[in-house]
């Protein structure tokens, strides 16, 4: 049988949506509880009658009734329903202090009765009547869990009702101290639980929580060897007050202080780290002012703890901890620090910036390889500030690598930082920008490029660079370099560049370019260059082509050559053994004669 539509759904749905078939039923079904349990344990008779046929019943019905102390509902469900209950019914009754319900359930469902669980539930909620009833059913060695929850909440009467407890009360002391329950601890001590073992456990737990009053109870019973764990626990949990108290009341050796310091630093407790650097200078900073008068002075230096803590903070990306340690950092682990910074899980660029600034403050020079790595990181993270910090420390080629990466990643502001470092290596970035058609990058790079840089870029240009980019670069190129540029372009078969320079070079440069194209077999370049009338250059080019046996080029050139040029080329071809060229040129010479 389908359940009826919930009133809230019927009122909430807009008319247009409610008119759609089964929408209201589907929404109601999604919102309604899966079981009828709540209606049963709350004794909601009307809800039971309306939804009883469409909702199942589980053990949750009797469990809920027991937790609410509804013995009448529990008994009715027991008599009329087959589902029964679970152990939750008994622990719920115990937690609520419903002793009559608990006693009835124990008789009705003896297999489910768990005295220890019920005792713990009652102790957790300070249900004294239930505790006294259940305590007789639990042996003292099984009362530990109940004592612990009662002690943690400071329920002195509940603990008194539960005693005597286990022979080892360490866990009870620990939870009471961890929760700062001074009254509970005083009660337990008054009951005779005051040996050194319990004091040490309580001191460690109290120190972890920073509970000074609790620590005062235990310190008189703990010597240096017994309370070293408390210093570590307090430092690890960032309890500066507890650390200060322990340092002022006890003497610790260098290993104990160093380990505590490392724990505080590893957990980013800056206040504790500052405190320990001030209180224990001779241990953590050997040779510093005040070391001789330090009561925690030790013969073994532990300055490496600061350095390792600094490196660890760099790897974690903990800026605040790095700043805290910066003044005491010696720089002895510089390489490891930088590698840690580059591998950090945090903001790498911010960590590297802080690391470099710390080195600068110490007067250290940033090694060039680190500068190059930082420059690359700056580009990858888009951090212009870091780029400005390291660009002057890079060699030209290192800056050029970062510049090319900035062009590749389309970061104009970043490219401007590295482009200011002029050098031949900047040509690679210029080629990259021109090849990808990024005019704004090309214009930027040309403003910072030297004559040799532009010439080198033109030498590296290929057919992938369009005419507009070529024109832009050639405008910045020194005209005296046109001859060398066209010769190199012709040798590589770069037709577009040759076209742009064809009528801008003198005859000698033209001749060398034509010879280069001919000897390398670039017939498309030769065809373009023949548009410029220069018979002498053509004759030289024919001889160059004959030397290399470039048959297609010779076919283009021979029509514009005189008999003398052909005869000279024929002699060269015969000397080099190019039979096909010889045959071609002999036929041409015969027709000319």
The token duo for 171 is: 């866990």
CA 380 – CA 347 distance, rounded (Å): 12
The answer to whether 549 and 581 are in contact (CB under 8 A) is yes
Look at residue 218 and tell me whether its pLDDT is greater than 60: yes
pLDDT-based confidence at 44, cuts 50/70/90? confident
Q: Name the residue among 523, 428, 461 with its Cα closest to residue 471.
A: 461
What is residue 422's predicted lDDT score, i.e. its pLDDT? 61
- Least confident range from 26-30, 220-224, 316-320, 470-474: namely 26-30
Question: Which domains are seen in the chain, by residue range?
Answer: 504-593 (1.25.40.20)
Neighbours of 413 (CB within 10 A): 11
Look at residue 315 and tell me whether its pLDDT is greater than 90: no
- Least confident range from 21-35, 337-351, 425-439: namely 21-35
CA 355 – CA 335 distance, rounded (Å): 11
Q: Name the residue among 416, 481, 474 with its Cα closest to residue 447.
A: 416
Residue with tokens 């489910």: 112
pLDDT-based confidence at 286, cuts 50/70/90? very low
- Mean pLDDT computed over 547-565: 92
Look at residue 288 and tell me whether its pLDDT is greater than 70: no
pLDDT-based confidence at 348, cuts 50/70/90? confident
SS (H, E, C) 356-415: HHHHHHHCCCCCHHHHHHHHHHHHHHCCHHHHHHHHHHCCHHHHHHHHHHHHHCCCHHHH
Q: Which CA distances in Å does 534 have to 493, 501, 509, 538, 562?
A: 20, 15, 12, 6, 13
Residue 568: asked if its preceding bond is cis (omega within 30°), the reply is: no
- pLDDT tens sequence across 71-82: 999 999 999 989
- pLDDT tens sequence across 482-536: 999 999 999 999 999 999 999 999 999 999 999 999 999 999 999 999 999 899 9
- Mean pLDDT computed over 150-156: 96
What one-character-per-residue DSSP string does 478-496 give? -GGGHHHHHHHHHHHT-HH
Residue 281: asked if its preceding bond is cis (omega within 30°), the reply is: no
Neighbours of 465 (CB within 10 A): 24
Contacts of 500 (CB under 8 A, 6+ apart): 467, 470, 471, 474
Question: Helix axis angle, 439-448 relative to 427-435, nearest 10°?
Answer: 160
- pLDDT tens sequence across 85-139: 999 999 999 999 999 999 999 999 999 999 999 999 999 999 999 999 999 999 9
* Percent above pLDDT 70 for the chain: 86
What is residue 412's predicted lDDT score, i.e. its pLDDT? 95
- pLDDT tens sequence across 172-213: 999 999 999 999 999 999 998 888 889 899 999 999 999 999
- pLDDT tens sequence across 359-394: 888 888 888 888 898 999 899 999 999 999 999 999
First to last CA, the chain: 114
Residue with tokens 């742009």: 500
The answer to whether 142 and 181 are in contact (CB under 8 A) is no
**Bridge partners of 56?**
35
CA 22, chain centre distance (Å) = 49
Look at residue 424 and tell me whether its pLDDT is greater than 70: no
Look at residue 299 and tell me whether its pLDDT is greater than 50: no
Q: Name the residue among 49, 97, 51, 101 with its Cα closest to residue 78.
A: 101
pLDDT-based confidence at 291, cuts 50/70/90? very low
**Bridge partners of 35?**
56
Contacts of 26 (CB under 8 A, 6+ apart): none
- Least confident range from 20-34, 81-95, 121-135, 429-443: namely 20-34
User: 20: helix, coil or strand?
Assistant: coil
């Amino acid at each position: 049988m389908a359940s009826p539509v919930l009133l809230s759904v019927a009122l909430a749905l807009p008319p247009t949506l409610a008119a759609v078939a089964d929408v209201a039923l589907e929404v109601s079904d999604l919102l309604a509880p899966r079981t009828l349990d709540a209606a049963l344990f709350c004794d909601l008779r009307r809800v039971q009658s309306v939804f009883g046929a469409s909702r199942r019943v589980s053990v949750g019905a009797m469990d809920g009734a027991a937790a609410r102390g509804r013995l009448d509902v529990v008994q009715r469900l027991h008599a009329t329903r087959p589902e029964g209950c679970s152990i939750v019914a008994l622990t719920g009754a115990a937690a609520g202090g419903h002793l009559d319900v608990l006693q009835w359930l124990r008789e009705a469902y003896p297999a489910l009765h768990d005295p220890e669980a019920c005792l713990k539930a009652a102790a957790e909620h300070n249900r004294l009547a239930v505790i006294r009833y259940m305590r007789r059913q639990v042996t003292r060695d099984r009362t530990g869990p109940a004592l612990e929850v009662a002690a943690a909440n400071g329920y002195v009467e509940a603990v008194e009702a539960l005693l005597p407890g286990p022979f080892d009360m360490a866990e009870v002391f620990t939870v009471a101290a961890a929760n700062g329950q001074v009254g509970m601890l005083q009660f337990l001590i008054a009951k005779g639980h005051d040996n050194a073992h319990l004091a040490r456990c309580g001191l460690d737990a109290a120190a972890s929580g920073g509970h000074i009053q609790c620590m005062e109870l235990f310190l008189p019973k703990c010597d240096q060897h017994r309370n070293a764990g408390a210093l570590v626990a307090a430092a690890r949990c960032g309890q500066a007050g507890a650390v200060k108290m322990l340092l002022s009341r006890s003497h610790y050796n260098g290993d104990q202080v160093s380990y505590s310091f490392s724990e505080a630093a590893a957990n980013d407790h800056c206040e504790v780290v500052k405190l320990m650097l001030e209180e224990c200078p001779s241990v953590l900073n050997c040779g510093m002012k005040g070391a001789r008068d330090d009561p925690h002075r030790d013969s073994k230096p532990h300055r490496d703890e600061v350095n390792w803590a600094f490196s660890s903070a760099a790897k974690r990306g903990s800026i605040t901890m790095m700043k805290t340690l910066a003044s005491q950092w010696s720089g002895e682990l510089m390489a490891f620090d930088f590698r840690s910074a580059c591998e950090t899980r945090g903001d790498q660029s911010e960590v590297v910036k802080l690391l470099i600034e710390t080195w600068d403050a110490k007067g250290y020079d940033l090694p060039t390889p680190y500068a190059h790595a930082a420059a690359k990181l700056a580009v990858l993270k888009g951090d212009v500030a870091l780029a400005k910090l390291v660009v002057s420390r890079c060699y030209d080629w290192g800056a050029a690598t970062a510049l090319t990466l900035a062009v590749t990643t389309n970061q104009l502001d970043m490219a401007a930082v590295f482009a200011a470092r002029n050098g031949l290596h900047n040509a690679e970035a210029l080629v990259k920008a021109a090849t990808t058609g990024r005019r704004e990058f090309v214009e930027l790079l040309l403003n910072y490029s030297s004559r040799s840089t532009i010439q080198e870029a033109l030498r590296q240009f290929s057919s992938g660079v369009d005419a507009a980019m070529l024109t832009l670069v050639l405008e910045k190129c020194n005209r005296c370099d046109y001859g060398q540029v066209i010769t190199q372009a012709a040798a590589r078969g770069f037709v577009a560049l040759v076209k742009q320079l064809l009528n801008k070079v003198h005859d000698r440069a033209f001749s060398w370019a034509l010879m280069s194209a001919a000897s390398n077999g670039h017939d498309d370049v030769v065809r373009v260059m023949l548009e410029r009338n220069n018979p002498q250059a053509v004759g030289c080019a024919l001889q160059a082509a004959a030397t290399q046996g470039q048959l297609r080029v010779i076919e283009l050139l021979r029509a514009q050559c005189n008999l003398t040029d052909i005869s000279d080329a024929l002699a060269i071809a015969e000397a080099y053994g190019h039979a096909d060229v010889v045959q071609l040129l002999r036929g041409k010479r015969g027709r000319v004669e």
